[in-house]
Amino acid sequence: MCGILGIAMTQTSSRLLRLLALLQTRRDWPGEELAQRLEVSCRTVRRDVERLRELGYPVDAVTGPNGGYRLHAGTAMPPLLLDDDEAVAIAVGLGGAASASVAGIEETAVRALVKLEQVLPSHLRRRVNALRSATTTVRATGPTVDAEALTTIASACRDREHLRFGYRSRDGSESRRRVEPHALVNRGQRWYLVAWDCGRSAWRTFRIDRIERVAPAGGGFARRELPAEDAAAYVAANLAGVSHGYRARVTLQVSAKEIGPRIPAGWGTVEAIDAHSCEYRASDDSLDWLAVRIGMLGVEFEIHEPPALAERFRVLADRFERASAAGGQRGGAPAKRAISPSTSAAIDSVGS
């Protein structure tokens, strides 16, 4: 008899853990779907939900045609159920957060990491330590984003809830926006929100560090189809099209198919001319950086605009040639030209 009771208690405990894991994966769960996942009756699901509530998990009943349950934020943080891969991912993420671009998160991340490592099994701790010892993180520089604003936006994306905030554009102008948030995108040191701007009836990309006084605006919405493969691709395309102080138009002596994958995101766009050449367009506020980017593509090119870029190439070419000559003389080797005749010809043909 005791053995039968023990088996029943074990099965119930296992089912409670499975139910808790399901409730943590998404916002709302219909009761019938939970019953199907757990292979029990709806009545058993109701009893298990009551047991979770007794253990301190704030599970709400959701009204509606089908009814259901929702695990919401309570007054205290209940234990989370993590599998091995999730535990390792969180530990590695917390380690990287110490040098992240989110303001004020460094110390908090370290405290959370210490707590997590105290309870990690030895085999998981070895995996985390291996990843940490082989990984170096470059500390973020430049503007940081507010952690609370980031979580507010993320929650609105998840729950499909409107947001309202103040926004400062690149030229310094300020405006109030009401949006349907779609997704957050992290690109190194920058965070972006992809959203449908209700006031402008168009998709927009917002830099999070330029958002102020963000708050839920209430009201749900149906998810719209994004005009891109995903949010990251949409942000990359928008950044590539941003106009800076200098806009370059260059012919590259290589096919668009070959050079396209070699151009980093945000460095510009290419359009095929024929099977052996393509037009490269890019912009930047620094002529030096624009010239270096073009040179780093590693192919022959012809500059069409702006004229100031061609002049900048001449200045840089002279500087590189002097450096090359000085280095060659110190090493006893003859000085070499720092710019090839074909590149010089490309510079001289600007405006063609």
CA 193 to chain centre: 9
pLDDT at 339: 44
Predicted TM-score (pTM) above 0.75: no
pLDDT at 96: 66
pLDDT at 346: 45
- 247: closest CA among 279, 221, 199? 279
Can you tell me the distance from the alpha carbon of 335 to that of 325, in angstroms, rounded to the nearest whole number?
Answer: 4
List of domains in the chain? 2-71 (1.10.10.10), 84-133 (no CATH), 147-240 (2.30.30.520), 246-348 (3.30.70.250)
Q: Are 259 and 235 in contact (CB under 8 A)?
A: no
pLDDT at 90: 78
Contacts of residue 347, Cβ cutoff 8 Å, sequence gap at least 6: 303, 310, 313, 314, 317
Q: Counting Cβ atoms within 10 Å, is residue 319 exposed (0-12), middle (13-18) or buried (19+)?
A: exposed
Phi, psi angles (nearest 5°) of residue 201: 50, 50
Can you tell me the distance from the alpha carbon of 38 to that of 16, in angstroms, rounded to the nearest whole number?
Answer: 10
pLDDT at 179: 97
pLDDT at 241: 64
Tell me the mean pLDDT per 10 residues along the chain, length 352.
Answer: 41 78 81 90 91 85 78 63 77 66 65 71 81 69 76 88 93 93 85 94 94 90 90 83 79 93 82 94 87 91 92 90 76 48 44 40
Can you tell me the distance from the alpha carbon of 352 to that of 344, in angstroms, rounded to the nearest whole number?
Answer: 14
pLDDT at 331: 56
